Amino acid sequence: MPNDMKGNHYATLFAIIALVEAGKDATAKEIADITLMHADSAARIANHLFELGVVERDRIVASHGKGHQYRYRSLIGVKGLLPFLMGLRGRKRKAE
């Protein structure tokens, strides 16, 4: 698993796309199983991708029956992934 934030975001996005393409729910637990991250970290990054407008999320009942969890879906899909990544290459980092 990449140890950098950009790599973790890419891994989370790829996991969401793979889960949705496979017909599975892309919850934090499922994402964490694929990316080998802790479920809290997977949820935090998936929520950041949601804030960036890259994925959408639905609130669903938690698998254990108490509370809720989010199910994520990518807005770009497999076919839009390469153009999306190529667009990121040209972006400049904001000055601190």
Q: Hey, how many other C-beta atoms are within 10 angstroms of the C-beta on 27?
A: 23
pLDDT class of 46 with cuts at 50, 70, 90: very high
pLDDT, one tens digit per residue, over 60-90 is: 988 777 889 999 998 876 666 666 666 655 5
pTM here is 0.77
List the CATH number of the domain containing 78: 1.10.10.10
41 in any annotated domain: yes
Q: Which of 59, 72, 68 is nearest to 26 (CA)?
A: 72
73 in any annotated domain: yes
68 in any annotated domain: yes
- Residue 78 lies in domain: 5-87
Residue 64 pLDDT: 76
Distance CA 13, CA 74 (A): 7
94 in any annotated domain: no
Exposure string of 31-64, with b = 16+ CB inside 10 Å and e = fewer, is bbebbebeeebbbebbbebeeeebbebeeeeeee
What is the total count of domains within the chain? 1
